[in-house]
Structure formats: structure tokens, C-alpha cells
Amino acid sequence: ETFSATQYNTSDATSFAHTSARSRWPIIITQAIDDVHRSLHDTKDEATINEGKQIVADLAKLKYELQHDRELTPIPDDGERDVAAYNQELAERGPPKWHSVPWLYAECYLYRRISSSFKQTQHWRSYDVFARQKTATFKSSRPAVIELAARYRDIVTELEQKKTVKGAKTQEQLEAAENVLFTEMCEICLWGNATDLSLLTNLSYTDIQKLQGSEARKNSEKNILVNDLDRAFKVITAAQREGKKERRVDIVLDNAGFELFVDLILAGYLLASGLATNVVFHPKSIPWFVSDVLPADFGALLSALADPQSFYSALSDDEKHAGKESVPLSETENANLLFLFRNWSTMHAEGQLLLRPNDFWTAGGSYWRLPNTNPELYEDLKESELVIFKGDLNYRKLTADVSVKFQWRISAAWPATTPFTDAIGPLGPGSGLRVLALRTCKADVVVGLPEGEDEKVRATEGGGGDSGARKWAWSGKWAVVQFSDGKA
Ligand code: F6P
Ligand code: MG
């Protein structure tokens, strides 16, 4: 069989790339334009207004080029060092046109291009064009936030007591209990990803709330098609048993708001239980895929929790318009949220919880490039007991978003049965990295499934059937949890 590996492409009508480029991205750019307009409304300073107008014009031009299938143009020099790599790759690739370009590169380019419009100004350089949306969605996840805050407080309080009542249970019983909790925390963390904002162009707020509660989580367990959590648990408990002094877990973050909230739940649990001694968070450096975490989002989340009553009672203009009235938190709810604030800010202040940005996470290529392009980051990640990659885009980058193009067919995916360890290439066996992907599926690429599973899910309602499209993998309803131990 002769085939050459290629990536999902916006020209492929059966891929989510196709509708992404034609319907989702124009909406995202329009929302960005609206956001700048709004901010302009509240601005008096003339220089800021002029720059804002220029940004709007830039974004409108970008939308035009996208919708009219023009060539992708070089990213203007905005003073950042990653521009050269983006533009070099652009030149090597053609330059391509919007409707027939590898999906992964084009979507990264899109966000990098948007950010360059801001970076070229003086007053908008660090403006986050998606911040409003992030805050609004986090607010709308209030029921789930409150439910989890209570659960977290119980768990952490119990863990603290357990430390003082030693010998109540055997080591084995303790570990079994720990495994159950670890699984619960990881699954909370996993499903928190189902609700990112770049998909919000097709999901309503009510849909989102449905995806977040504990009921939803229980029902969703059957939707985790592969679940390697036990293997990840073994790795970190082994480190603990060996008496390793520093046991670090890394989380390559995905979305802000509710997802970051659940990442903190997991991180806090790992630290409180002693499964880890340090947790390192890896945020993005520019506004990315609408809802991804920037360092400022971390601060914003903690500030919201520092005074939850004000956070929830302050109404946005939209809410006022819709005639909404704020419902105050109960005393217990308020106290539980404050507990989270104290707990997490202490961990942060004591250096157990770190934020470590790197522009590798917003480069245009897959993570297969890590050892070559960012050897320092690679070495750093090797120090970790476990590197958790959150969400869909991270998974696409781990697997290089590869589709295998057979000569006699238009295109077919990485066979869904490809072992995860193969699909992550240089980050797989021999890499020295322990990789755990927590991914709800929102794009075509899926690997590591048992024989026949893809076909089975395709045959379910909305699964794509005989259309040639793997539609089931687009909506965040299904998930995979996959592990690679990095040993040769
Ligand atoms: O599938 C839609 C999409 O926007 C993809 O383009 C992207 O990979 C993903 O969702 C972003 O989701 P996440 O926030 O989980 O990475
Ligand atoms: Mg995201």
C-alpha cells in the first residue's frame, strides 16, 4: 500500500475542518469585531480610538479574505519572535488559500493573525478580545461551580483530617479509596473541557449547564471510549511510594472559566492528597481558540472567588438589558467559594502551584516538533511525573492532526485503531515523557480505539453513518483518556 501522511484539510468536505473554515471562523471574527466596538464605546482617548478603528478594519479584512478564499498573507512584524516561524512555514506551504489549507496550521494562524492586529498597537497590545465571553460563560456555569465547591471542600477537609488519624485503614484500602477519588477528579477535569467557547457558535448556555453537573458526569462515563486513568494513577503513586521528594504534575491548560476551575479542582486535590508536591500550569501567551487560558485569566478567576458575592451580583450590560436580576449566593455557597479562594491562593503563594507560559503552545505546528524546536521546554517536562494535556486542540497537536491519504480514496483518518503511543510520534515511547490526554472529542482525529469501536459509534444517531464523516467526534459528547509512559 502506498500512502503519504497528510493532515486534515479545510478542503475536505467530510471533515469538521470544512465547516470550521466556512461557518465557525467567520462568526468568531465577527464576535471579535463586536467586542472591540463595545470597548470603543467606553473609550475617550483619541489615540486609543484610532488604533481601535484600525483593529476593526484589520479584522474585517481578515474576514473578507477568509470568506473569499484568498491566500493567507504573512503575519505583520509585531515585534514578537514567533512571527518568523509562522511566516516561514506559510511560505513553505505555498502560500495556501483559506479553503484548501491544512486545518491545524490555518486555525493557529488565524488566532496568531488576530493577535497581531492588537500587538501592532500601543494601547491594545495586551487586550484580550475574548475576555468578555470568557467571563460571561464562567458566570453562567454557576450551578456547577457551586456544586463542585461544596464537594471539593468536603474532600480536602477530610484529607486534612485523615492525615491526623493515621492507621485507621490499611495501606491498600487507602490506596483504593485514593484511586476512586483520583478518577472522579480527573473525570470532572475531563468533562470541564466539553464546554469551550470556540464551539459555542453551536451550543446554547443551557446546553452548557447540562454538560456540567454531576448527573451529567455519571451519565457520561459510558461515553469515555478509552480510559487509561488507572495507568496514570499507578505512575504517580509509584513515585510517592519510592519516596521521591519532588513529585510534579504538569497540566497543559486548555480553556479559561469553568475548565480552569476544574483544573484547579484537580490540582488542589493532587496537592492536598500528597499525590503531587507541585503542580505546574501551562497557559497560552496570546488570546487563543477563543477561550484558552491566559495568565490574566488565572488572576481573574481567583479575584472572582475572592469576593464571590460581588462577582455574581454584578450584572453585565447584556444581563441588564435582558432584565435579569442577580440572585445572591447563600451563606454556605459563599463560604465554600471563599474556601476555594483561600485554599488555591495559598497553594499559589507557597509556590506549590505555578504558572509557566511558553510561546511553544501557540506555535503553528504539532507537538511532534517539541524536541527539535523547544528542547528546553522538553527537558523541563521530562522532570514531571505526569504531563496532562487538556482538551481537543492539545490532542490534535499531540497526534499531529494526521489523516492518512490513500491514493485510491480521497481521505481517511489515522486508522482509529492506531495505538496512541504511535500517533504521538516523538513524544511516545523513548521520549521520557509521561503523557496523559484528557480529551473530549471536538474534531476528526481519534486514535487508540478498540477494533470496531469507531464503526459502532458512527452508527449511533448523529454519528455520521455512511456519510464518510466521523461526525460523532465533533460535538464534545464522546471522550478519550489516553496514556503513554514514555519508556523505550
Ligand atoms: O472542533 C472545534 C474546535 O474549535 C477545534 O478547532 C479545536 O481543536 C477545538 O475545538 C478547541 O477545543 P478545545 O478548547 O477543547 O481545545
Ligand atoms: Mg480551547
Task: List, for residues 234-256, the tens digit of each pLDDT value.
Answer: 999 999 889 999 999 999 999 99
- Candidate from 294, 442, 446 with most ligand 1 atoms within 8 A of CB, to mutate: 442
Give CA–CA dist 112/363, Å, rounded.
9
Closest to 117 measured CA to CA, from 127, 107, 131: 127
215: Cα separation from own chain's centroid? 23
Q: Which ligand is nearest to the CA of 107?
A: 1
The CA 382 to ligand 2 mean position distance, Å, reads: 24
So what's the pLDDT on residue 2? Answer: 34
Task: List, for residues 37-77, the tens digit of each pLDDT value.
Answer: 999 999 999 999 999 999 999 999 999 999 999 999 999 99
Q: What is the DSSP string of 267-328?
A: HHHHHHHTS-SEEEEE--SS--TTTB--HHHHHHHHHHHHSHHHHHHPPPHHHHHTT--PPP
Task: List, for residues 302-355, the tens digit of each pLDDT value.
Answer: 999 999 999 998 887 777 888 888 889 999 999 999 999 999 999 999 999 999
So what's the pLDDT on residue 408? Answer: 40
Closest to 392 measured CA to CA, from 298, 464, 479: 479
Q: Which atom of ligand 1 is nearest to 197's Cα?
A: 14
Q: Cell match 469507531: residue?
A: 454
Return the DSSP state at 86: H
The CA 199 to ligand 1 mean position distance, Å, reads: 7
Give CA–CA dist 334/460, Å, rounded.
43
The CA 399 to ligand 2 mean position distance, Å, reads: 16
Q: Which ligand is nearest to the CA of 192?
A: 1
The CA 388 to ligand 1 mean position distance, Å, reads: 17
The CA 267 to ligand 2 mean position distance, Å, reads: 19
> Which of the four pLDDT bands, split at 50, 70 and 90, describes residue 196?
low
Q: Which atom of ligand 1 is nearest to 255's Cα?
A: 14
Pocket of ligand 1 (CB under 6 A): 16, 20, 107, 193, 196, 198-199, 254-255, 289, 391-393, 396, 442-443
Return the DSSP state at 254: -
pTM recorded for the entire structure: 0.93
- Is the pLDDT score of 177 beyond 70? yes
In the chain, the amino acid numbered 68 is: H
Q: Which domains does the chain have, with CATH numbers?
A: 12-129 (1.20.930.60), 137-484 (no CATH)
